Structure 1
């Protein structure tokens, strides 16, 4: 079957040999003109490390009928991986993007490949992270997205020389539920959520900068995105589990600089998620740049901002990255 972007034989980590893929494109076709293709893919884990839940088979579905647009989702992730976008002249910076999808799926284009193209075209090496989803039957499901995010940073850092990037200039960005993946990594980058598997795991998992775009943050039922919360920690979590998976309750003084973006009219993930994290991070002395726009709703990515002031957000992000000396 067709892979997400490339034949499975091209997708491997340092410790892997080529292996069969289970990916399906859902019949959408891969020659649509709007598709953005990465240059390569990298599986996060060596073969046979993951105990894939019975019956779980990955597929990619197309949600748009527009032949000039693409809005795909990847669900039932069985081979967590990084899709790599390499610029012609790397500037030394790397950005790992965690797409959203309410912990039900990963949004491929709108919250992954579109930002990857924007950054790649300006010289940044970009990795789009397709992480495992917590309600798919994995053991320790509420920690598998964080484990994949930690592993992704360590792999990218361990391959810095090969990819011509600076191991001290690695940012992580996340949209919506991917924002929860990213902000969990920001606060729990050294949490022991998996056993080391190879030399890459000697590298630190702390990002050098963190970007959260209309992020799911808190598991507090008063402001949580209930779908993400239920899939991550269940419908009746105890107070300790709720707190552990609420990044605003786990801020620390050694977090990386933070960029926050949210629309105040977001009716899916309340803006209070970003505002609580903003306040908590600022109290630790962490540098925070936050942008709150009156209109934009949820899930706008780079594709649904026409005519709105929020359309300027990619430039705001680029300027912030420059100010952090990432570029």
Structure 2
């Protein structure tokens, strides 16, 4: 367990750079449709000297506006060359932090529906939230299928290293992921200790293990027919070996060290089959990991918060909040 003193020492070692050094801005605001809530401006770049293993041609970040009519803002971003966290600070911090990993099939990252919406909701309840814009495995990074996990590990360590700056406790850092971001979150919850990058500074000896993890309609299996074909193809290539498929199926990596997990899925999900979540739950039970599962009859895929309004699935954030409080967070 990492205590508050060690977190503060880690902060000093890394450098008090939050809000001082120039950081990469958040993904741009584009278009003019739909209601517009203010975006946060505070970011934390993950890699002080640039992300390791960059492709020969530097990526160009592109933000697309997918908002329809007067619907809630719906942006997506791809071409992540500067992986970073966007910070949502609460008015009254409750001591807990959340790392949010949006989905997007490993070809894009959904900014609003699976990032900023839940971040604002949690921040209103006292959580300090960090939305992660991670590198995508199809973009030619040297780490290949581990590139998003590298960013998630680094993000967790930086949150703990800077805990004193944000008024959070290093033993109350949660992780949440949606769809392909749920695969990143599941990877983080099960392979947090695997070395996927060479250490770069004093944050890297800190633990990358989340204290709890929430997997929301998460991609899990990399073996067909259960796998989400698009995520599998981008992550592992067109013809992965059975060994590679198993190595990147998160249920295969659950151990007794996996943190307590909160699982949500809709049974009518036609993109990521609900059996992905059921397999992860079964693995958690076998390993003796505390797990809570909420299955909704309807909801489809990618409902986040705004697309669940008026449906029973809309209750999942409150269910998470209650569950997290029972585990000492929030």
TM-score by length of 2: 0.90
TM superposition outliers: structure 1 runs of 4+ over 4 Å: 12-24
Q: 72, 75, 85: which is aligned to 2:88?
A: 85
Shift of 1:127: 0.4
Taking the aligned partners of 1:318 and 1:21, their CA distance within structure 2 comes to 31
Q: 245, 250, 256: which is aligned to 2:248?
A: 245
Which structure 2 residues correspond to residues 6-85 of structure 1 after superposition, within 5 A?
14=17, 18=21, 25=28, 27-28=30-31, 33-53=35-55, 54-66=57-69, 69-85=72-88
Taking the aligned partners of 2:88 and 2:291, their CA distance within structure 1 comes to 27
Taking the aligned partners of 1:164 and 1:101, their CA distance within structure 2 comes to 31
Question: Does 2:149 align with 1:123?
Answer: no
Shift of 1:67: 5.0
**Structure 1, unaligned stretches of length 5 or more?**
1-11
Q: For each residue in 1:45-72, what CA deviation from the matched residue of structure 2 results, as whole angstroms up to 9, or x when unmatched?
A: 0124534320410011111143562100
CA contact (8 A) 2:34 2:68 kept: no
Taking the aligned partners of 1:28 and 1:285, their CA distance within structure 2 comes to 48
Helix, strand or coil for the counterpart of 2:308? coil
CA contact (8 A) 1:102 1:177 kept: yes
**Structure 2, unaligned stretches of length 5 or more?**
1-14
Tell me which residue corresponds to 1:7: none
Question: Does 2:111 align with 1:94?
Answer: no
Taking the aligned partners of 2:159 and 2:140, their CA distance within structure 1 comes to 27
Shift of 1:237: 0.6
Helix, strand or coil for the counterpart of 1:202? coil
Tell me which residue corresponds to 1:236: 239
Q: Which has the higher contact order (CA 8 A, sep 6+)?
A: 2
CA contact (8 A) 1:36 1:113 kept: no
| CA shift in 2, pair 1:209/1:23, >3 Å | closer
CA contact (8 A) 1:257 1:287 kept: yes
Tell me which residue corresponds to 1:5: none
| CA shift in 2, pair 1:180/1:49, >3 Å | closer
CA contact (8 A) 1:16 1:47 kept: no
CA contact (8 A) 1:34 1:67 kept: no
| CA shift in 2, pair 1:226/1:122, >3 Å | same
Q: For each residue in 1:123-157, what CA deviation from the matched residue of structure 2 results, as whole angstroms up to 9, or x when unmatched?
A: 00000000000001111221100000000000000
Taking the aligned partners of 1:38 and 1:232, their CA distance within structure 2 comes to 30
TM-score by length of 1: 0.91
Helix, strand or coil for the counterpart of 2:285? helix
CA contact (8 A) 1:13 1:44 kept: no
CA contact (8 A) 1:186 1:206 kept: yes
CA contact (8 A) 2:84 2:134 kept: yes
Tell me which residue corresponds to 1:163: 166
Helix, strand or coil for the counterpart of 1:135? helix
Query: Across the two proteins, how many residue pairs are aligned to each other?
Result: 315
Shift of 1:250: 1.0
Q: What is the RMSD of the two structures over their aligned residues, measured on CA atoms?
A: 2.2
CA contact (8 A) 1:176 1:216 kept: yes
Shift of 1:25: 3.6
Tell me which residue corresponds to 1:306: 309
Shift of 1:308: 1.3
Taking the aligned partners of 2:64 and 2:130, their CA distance within structure 1 comes to 21
The range that moved more, 269-278 or 35-44, is: 35-44
Helix, strand or coil for the counterpart of 2:67? coil
Question: Does 2:228 align with 1:225?
Answer: yes
CA contact (8 A) 2:23 2:44 kept: no
